[in-house]
Chains A and B, each alone.
Chain A
Amino acid sequence: MIMALLWLPFGDNQFPPILQLVIIWIPFIILIVYGQKIQAWTILGEVSRYLNKLKMFRDKARVTMLNYVQKKGTTAEGRARFEELIEFVTILPVDLDPVGIVKKLDHVLTTQDIQLKEEVARLLPRDSTEIERSCALNMVEVAAALNSIYKVVRHFYILGKKSSNVYILAQLQMILPTLLRQAEALVSAMKALEEGQPLGDGVGPLVVSHLMKDVKKVKIARETVMAELEYKGRKLALIKAEGPQGSVGKVDEALINLLNGHYSDASTIIMIDAALKLEGEKTGEVAEGIGAAIGGLGVEKFKIEEIAHKYGIPLYAIIIKESIIEAISIMKKEIAESVDEVKEAVLRIVENKVPYGGKAIIIGVGNTLGISQ
């Protein structure tokens, strides 16, 4: 009887109406009513897998950092304090009235920098080296960055799950592959930090370190060194962060000190830095241009542009292209091997733009971990 009903002819259409209902109409209605929920469940599953990976990276970074400081001789109390430092927050100044915000930002960031450095130095044994302290500090920063990424993703995951809001989840799903790549790079940076290996970001200091190899170095600003070099009748002032400990130094202050001192008549300032490449560009490609080549929140860039403008000195930039991931990972072969090409470019600019007997300032911008001078 049922079989007969199933195969009951329906007009000219020989397809059984009950099967039509089951195969076409019921799924159609289910998709209309529950489509968004089904999509949300699918995305939730994918986001949940990403979240687990991010948690794994965060935990790995945390454990690596804690093992490192324990190996360097911190106490149980110190270890607990290091765990707390992962949650350290910096509240940026209000920008409702942007006048003077750079000075306020500079003040907040300098305070944060000093505070973290002092805290790490206090928690490690007194006989620990500068390199060990800087490595521990950089590891705290990386662990904190991974912790922050994980917590933000988890926040939106829970929010999307609670509200079954497919739009929140879809946005999260779209940015997660990029976030995961950055997290991977941060985790691999932990290994470099632990062993004091140069990062991709250190290519600027690397070039300057080769230029200042055989000349006397002096400290010119906090964690920043300077050397003077004679080149074909020109006087070159070379600036980089003090290595081989992990630091970006205060190259802006070093430049201000030089310009307010013996180099106020400099003909040119040349800045060397790693810069973000666009997809499709080759890693380690060198490009020349104009402007202040320095990243960060913009405080140093602002100060450098201000002082260069005050003295009317042109700013030349030499950038070495790399991805954000390559910048925070161990330096790649292609980046390291661009050093000779960058050196040639620097010296060519000096010959072309600085008259005989003139002066130039050359700044290597970036983290100088694993790079001495």
Chain B
Amino acid sequence: MEELERRENIVSIEECPRCGLKNKRKFQQGDYVLKQSGKCPKCNIPMYIKLIYAEPFKP
């Protein structure tokens, strides 16, 4: 049962709406697609979550 839960990493991909800079981070409770999240280090404007997905587990 534990194996089932540990096989994947869930990540949120943030994107800056202006410069298109992408940032990959671990999924946090409350994240959803198109939610404003963090600030773009280049443009200093809020980024939004473009995608949330599971990728193979990397310890």
B residues 1-44 touching A (CB-CB < 8 Å): 1, 4-5, 8, 10, 27, 29-35
A196 to B28, CA, bound (A): 10
Whether A147 is near chain B, meaning CB under 8 Å from some CB there, is no
**A339-B52 in contact given A197-B10, A371-B32, A372-B32 (Cβ < 8 Å):** no
Within the complex, which residue of A195, A213, A329, A339 is in contact with B34, where a contact is CB–CB below 8 Å?
A213
Complex contacts, A206 vs chain B, CB 8 Å: 33, 51
A373 touches B34 (CB 8 A): yes
Would you give the 0/1 interface string for B44-59, flagging 1 where the beta carbon is closer than 8 Å to chain A? 0000101111110000
Given contacts A56-B1, A337-B51, contact A330 B33 (CB under 8 A): no
Q: Are B32 and A331 in contact (CB under 8 A)?
A: no
Residues of B contacting A243 with CB < 8 Å? Answer: 32-33
Contact B52 A198 (CB under 8 A): yes
B34 cross-chain contacts in A, Cβ below 8 A: 209, 213, 371-373
Question: Could you tell me which residues of chain A, from 24 to 81, have a CB within 8 Å of some CB in chain B?
Answer: 56, 60
Asked if A366 is at the interface (CB within 8 A of a chain B CB), the reply is no
> Counting CB contacts under 8 A, is A335 at the interface?
yes
Q: Assess the A339–B10 pair: CB atoms within 8 A.
A: no
Q: In the complex where A209-B33, A330-B53, A332-B54 touch, is A195 in contact with B5 (Cβ < 8 A)? A: no
A141 at interface, CB cutoff 8 A:
no
Partner of B32, one of A60, A196, A329, A339: A196
Q: Contact at A330–B10, with CB atoms within 8 Å?
A: yes
Q: How would residues 140 to 182 of chain A score, 1 for a CB under 8 Å from any chain B CB and 0 otherwise?
A: 0000000000000000000000000000000000000000000
Contact B55 A333 (CB under 8 A): yes
Contacts known (A198-B33, A332-B53); A188 close to B5, Cβ less than 8 A: yes
Q: Does A256 contact B (CB under 8 A)?
A: no
Instruction: List chain B residues, Cβ under 8 A from A329.
Output: 54
B52 and A336 contacting across the interface, CB-CB below 8 Å: yes
> What is the bound-complex CA distance between A56 and B3, given in angstroms?
14
**Please, which residues of chain A bring their CB within 8 A of the CB of B32?**
196, 198, 243-244, 370-372
Kindly state the separation between the CA atoms of A188 and B50 in the bound complex, as whole angstroms. Answer: 23
Structural contact, A188 and B52, CB atoms closer than 8 A: no
Q: In angstroms, how far is the closest chain A Cβ from the Cβ of B21?
A: 16
- A339 and B51: CB pair below 8 A? yes
Residues of B within 8 A of A (CB): 1, 4-5, 8, 10, 27, 29-35, 48, 50-55
Residues of A within 8 A of B (CB): 56, 60, 184, 187-188, 191, 195-198, 206, 209-210, 213, 243-244, 329-333, 335-337, 339, 370-373
Instruction: Enumerate 7 A-B pairs (CB-CB under 8 Å) in ascending A order.
Output: A187-B4, A195-B27, A198-B52, A209-B34, A244-B32, A333-B53, A371-B33
Q: Ordered nearest first, which 9 A-B pairs have the shortest CB separation?
A: A244-B32, A336-B53, A372-B34, A330-B54, A371-B33, A336-B51, A333-B55, A333-B53, A370-B32
17 further contact pairs, Cβ within 8 A, besides A330-B10, A330-B54: A187-B4, A191-B5, A195-B27, A197-B10, A197-B27, A197-B31, A198-B53, A209-B33, A213-B48, A243-B33, A244-B32, A244-B33, A244-B35, A335-B53, A336-B53, A339-B51, A371-B33
